[in-house]
């Protein structure tokens, strides 16, 4: 009898062990050290590749911020799949998990581009159950006609094509997310600390503004001075555009408005001398910021570039290490011309960033991508109108959200 009971118990245990072993072990996320071992592709979230993952996949010359915080997408558990897994068709129902950002004002300022360039791109993918590679050709047309630029358009579409061939972009949502990720990646150029607001780490901090006539240099100085005053910084302005009396007067109006001294020379004075005097005065007065305005005529002729170089050098003579910022102002409505100008200025002087004005006046906002990608310089501010409050610090993720974000998501986020 005891023997029979023992035999039954042994049989039950053996059967249990058999079923336990025969079952597939549950899938588990790899631990951190294991993850390193996995091929890169398995590490990438399927729906919205993070900037970091993208950048790792496509090694480019683009410098990455040193202390880059992981994006929420990167922090979310990656959909790690064994390499043999079937190609992932991304479910269209899955809403992208990104933090809600209040980009209402930005979205309004970018309304022209949202209704133009972005609406055209979206129309190409909307309602498509299957993404046909021919779509990429139509996207190319839209991007080229929206000032993204040839080189940048081909780089973006080349990467999308690669992912399409690997069946990573199963539906319209996946394509849209991939496009957003590409945009964020391109726009996030520059060392950390070189993005965002002007640096005020030195006292005084000297900001030299350069750019061709009419792009918005003087207006932008007025806007930046307003912002600085609002955060209790003391400001001085230098009227380096000595060719036009109107330019000096324009700066004086801003100076009065924000409560800043304006240093000016006689008509047609040497701009270098004005910049030197202003830098010396800014030092003596102990102001936080000095904005130096410059002339923007004759940009295609050597003399203007020589003059800008000279102004920059003179500022450095008056204060070692200055100017702390040399910002190039570009008018977004001038499209490819802006890129040509930028290349010339970049060659003449070391630029620390770009300010892109008049984005409110163009439906072709693709210029932002073209500028960042071809110049490898960060956009620091964007101008979305003529008022002081229409100048915004450029944040790539907010910008992409405002431009690419769906209206219904936008409404939900408000
Ligand atoms: N719509 C719009 N107009 C702007 C913007 N920034 C500057 N402007 C206008 O562009 C024109 C030229 O600006 P100005 O500062 O004189 O250019 P500068 O010659 O480079 O100094 C002015 O009428 C400004 O009001 C902007 O972001 N949006
Ligand atoms: Mg001016």
Q: What is the 3-state secondary structure (H, E, C) of the chain?
A: CHHHHHHHHHHHHHHHHHHHHHCCCCCCCCCHHHHHHCCHHHHCCCCCCCHHHHHHHCCCCCCCCCCCCCCHHHHCCCCCCCCCCCCCCCCCCCCCCCCCCCCHHHHHHCHHHHHHHHHHHHHHHCCCCCCCCHHHHHHHHHHHCCCCCHHHHHHHHHHHHHHHHCCCCCCHHHHHHHHHHHHHHHHCCCCCCCCCCCCCCCCCEEEEEECCCCCCHHHHHHHHHHHHHHCCCCEEEECCCCCCHHHHHHHHHHHHHHCCEEECCCCCCCHHHHHHHHHHHHHHHCCCEEEECCCCCCCCCHHHHHHHHHHHHHHHHHCCCCCCEEEEEEEHHHCHHHHHHHHHHHHHCCCCEEEEECHHHCCCCCHHHHHHHHHCCCEEEEECCCCHHHEEECCHHHHHHHHHCCHHHHHHHC
pTM of structure: 0.76
With the CA atoms of 232, 238, 244 and 246 taken in that order, what torsion angle do they form, in degrees rounded to the nearest 10? Answer: 20
Cβ(361) – ligand 1 distance below 6 Å: yes
Q: What is the mean pLDDT of each run of 10 residues along the chain (414 residues)?
A: 53 49 39 32 34 35 31 33 38 49 88 93 87 89 94 95 90 92 91 62 93 95 95 95 89 97 90 96 97 78 81 97 96 92 93 95 93 92 95 93 76 46
Q: Positive or negative, the Cα torsion across 66, 71, 75, 78?
A: negative
Q: What confidence score (pLDDT) does residue 230 get?
A: 92
CA 118 to ligand 2 centroid distance, Å: 32
CA 172 to ligand 1 centroid distance, Å: 38
Residue nearest atom 17 in ligand 1 by C-alpha distance: 216
Are 379 and 368 in contact by the 8 Å Cβ rule? The answer is yes
Q: What confidence score (pLDDT) does residue 268 get?
A: 80
Residue 198 CA to its chain's centroid (Å)? 16
Which atom of ligand 1 sits closest to the CA of residue 250?
Answer: 16
Cβ(214) – ligand 1 distance below 6 Å: yes
CA distance 272 to 312: 8
Residue 36 Cα distances to 29, 40, 63, 350, angstroms: 12, 8, 22, 38
Beta-bridge partners for 209: 327
CA distance 198 to 177: 31
Beta-carbon-side half-sphere exposure of residue 230 (alpha carbons within 13 Å): 8
Residue nearest atom 4 in ligand 1 by C-alpha distance: 386
Residue nearest atom 6 in ligand 1 by C-alpha distance: 216
Q: What confidence score (pLDDT) does residue 147 get?
A: 92
Residue nearest atom 1 in ligand 1 by C-alpha distance: 385
Beta-carbon-side half-sphere exposure of residue 334 (alpha carbons within 13 Å): 18
Q: What confidence score (pLDDT) does residue 409 get?
A: 52
Residue 126 Cα distances to 95, 123, 165, 175, 406, angstroms: 16, 5, 20, 10, 12
């Amino acid at each position: 009898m005891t023997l029979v009971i023992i035999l039954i118990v042994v049989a039950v245990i053996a059967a249990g062990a058999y079923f336990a072993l025969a079952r597939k072990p549950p899938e588990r996320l790899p631990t951190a050290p294991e993850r390193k071992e996995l091929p890169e592709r398995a590490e990438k979230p399927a729906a919205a590749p993070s900037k970091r993952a993208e950048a790792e996949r496509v090694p480019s010359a683009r410098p990455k911020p040193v202390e880059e915080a992981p994006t929420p997408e990167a922090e979310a558990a990656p959909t790690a799949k064994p390499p043999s897994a079937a190609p992932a068709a991304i479910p269209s129902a899955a809403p992208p998990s990104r933090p809600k950002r209040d980009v209402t004002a930005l979205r309004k300022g970018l309304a022209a581009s949202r209704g133009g360039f972005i609406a055209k791109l979206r129309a190409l993918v909307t309602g498509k159950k299957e993404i046909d590679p021919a779509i990429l050709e139509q996207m190319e047309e839209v991007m080229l006609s929206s000032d993204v630029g040839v080189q940048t358009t081909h780089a973006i579409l080349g990467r999308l094509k690669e992912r399409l061939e690997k069946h990573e972009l199963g539906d319209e949502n996946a394509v849209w997310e991939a496009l957003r990720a590409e945009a964020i990646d391109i726009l996030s150029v520059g060392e950390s600390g070189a993005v965002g607001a002007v640096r005020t780490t030195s006292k005084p901090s000297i900001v030299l503004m350069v750019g061709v006539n009419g792009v918005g240099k003087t207006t932008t100085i007025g806007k930046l001075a307003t912002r600085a005053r609002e955060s209790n910084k003391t400001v001085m302005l230098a009227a380096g555009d000595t060719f036009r009396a109107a330019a000096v007067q324009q700066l004086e109006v801003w100076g009065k408005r924000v409560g800043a001294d304006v240093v000016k020379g006689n008509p047609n004075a040497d701009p270098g001398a004005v910049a030197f005097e202003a830098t010396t005065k800014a030092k003596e007065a102990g102001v936080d910021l000095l904005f130096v305005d410059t002339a923007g005529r004759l940009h295609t002729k050597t003399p203007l570039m020589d003059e800008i170089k000279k102004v920059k050098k003179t500022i450095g003579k008056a204060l070692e290490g200055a100017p702390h910022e040399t910002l190039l102002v570009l008018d977004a409505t001038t499209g490819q011309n802006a890129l040509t100008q930028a290349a010339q200025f970049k060659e003449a002087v070391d630029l620390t960033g770009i300010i892109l004005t008049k984005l409110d006046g163009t439906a072709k906002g693709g210029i932002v991508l073209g500028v960042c990608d071809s110049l490898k310089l960060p956009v620091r501010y964007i101008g979305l109108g003529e008022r002081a409050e229409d100048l915004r610090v450029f944040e790539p993720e907010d910008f992409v959200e405002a431009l690419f974000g769906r209206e219904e998501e936008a409404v939900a986020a408000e």
